[in-house]
Amino acid sequence: MRINCLGLCEVRWTENGQFRKNDKIVIYSERHGHQRGVALLLDARLSKSIFGCWPKSDRLLLVKLKASPFNVNMIVAYAPTTEADEQMIK
């Protein structure tokens, strides 16, 4: 299976950052000690198009890609299910 772009939730990497693995790049955002983080995995072709990355919170990540005829905003959002306790939902 070929994946060009994949949004991930509940990642456990700390803080904000990015890393490369083989021909993929992973951009991530997390702020609550290995909980609730989000990430975006992009293949080599798409990773060359990145011109901005804004980790808004541990639940929201925005990555802008240069594209034609217009640029693309990729948003990864995490929302807990209704099964989660009240503290997690806030």
More confident residue, 89 or 15: 15
pTM for this one? 0.80
- Residue from 32, 31, 23, 28 nearest 8 by CA: 28
Query: How many domains does one find in the chain?
Result: 1
- Residues 17-24 have a mean pLDDT of 88
Question: From CA 83, how far away is CA 72, in angstroms rounded?
Answer: 33
- Range of 11's domain? 5-89
Q: pLDDT digit string (tens) for 28-82?
A: 887 666 567 899 999 999 999 999 999 888 889 999 999 999 999 999 998 876 7
Which residue do the tokens 């919170």 mark? 57
- Residue 87's pLDDT band, with cuts at 50, 70 and 90, is low
